Structure 1
Amino acid sequence: MVTLDQVEAMIQSELPDAFVKVEDLGGGDHLQAIVVSSAFEGQTLVKQHQMVYKAVKEAMATEAIHALALKTYTPQGWEKVNQAA
């Protein structure tokens, strides 16, 4: 099993400017991550998710992470989400 802090660090190693928040959805291996990065600008949602999955590829291959739900945002997109809330 991998800790939430370790998953955050994996994602930040691939996307150094990212704000990352990882939550356990149950069992320690079903996780959700919110990732905000300027690297997502101009990228499709699929490409954004691929960028994050690249960072956690090894943990997913060993099934330390069984499932990872993603919510990815550019900084401007994140600002809009927070203003609406």
Structure 2
Amino acid sequence: MAIFSQELEDLLRQTFPNAEIAVEGSDGQHMSAMVIDESFRGLNRVQQQRAVYAALKGKMDGPDGDLHALALTTKAPE
């Protein structure tokens, strides 16, 4: 089953309601997302990305996940 950009953005928005979020991709399995959120301040890149993966609520878990690949850019606002 595929996931689409609006669904991915909606999932991210639940966890990061004030973030700047941009999601791209239209095949439902390979997407990119940029998430800029104040909650990332003081966290290293791995911690930031783990927070985003947690927000996806299992959509990328294992070979049966809805989303196969996600190119992810995360940072705190400047």
Separation in 2, partners of 1:69, 1:50: 13
Percent sequence identity over matched residues? 33
TM-score by length of 1: 0.80
Separation in 2, partners of 1:11, 1:27: 19
Separation in 1, partners of 2:69, 2:60: 8
1:64 to 66, 71, 75: 66
Separation in 2, partners of 1:29, 1:57: 16
The Cα shift of 1:27 comes to: 3.1
Paired residues, number = 75
Residue equivalent to 1:44:
44
Runs of 4+ with deviation above 2 angstroms: none
The Cα shift of 1:67 comes to: 0.7
Separation in 2, partners of 1:37, 1:72: 8
User: Which amino acid is 1:12 matched to?
Assistant: R
Q: Deviations over 1:46-72 (max 9, x none)?
A: 000000000113211242100111001
User: Over alpha carbons, which structure has the higher Rg?
Assistant: 1
Q: Deviations over 1:15-71 (max 9, x none)?
A: 1211111111x6320111000100000101100000000011321124210011100
User: Which amino acid is 2:51 matched to?
Assistant: M
TM-score by length of 2: 0.87
Provide the secondary structure at the position in 1 that maps to 2:54.
helix
Provide the secondary structure at the position in 2 that maps to 1:70.
strand
Separation in 2, partners of 1:73, 1:44: 9
Gaps of 5+ in 1: 77-85
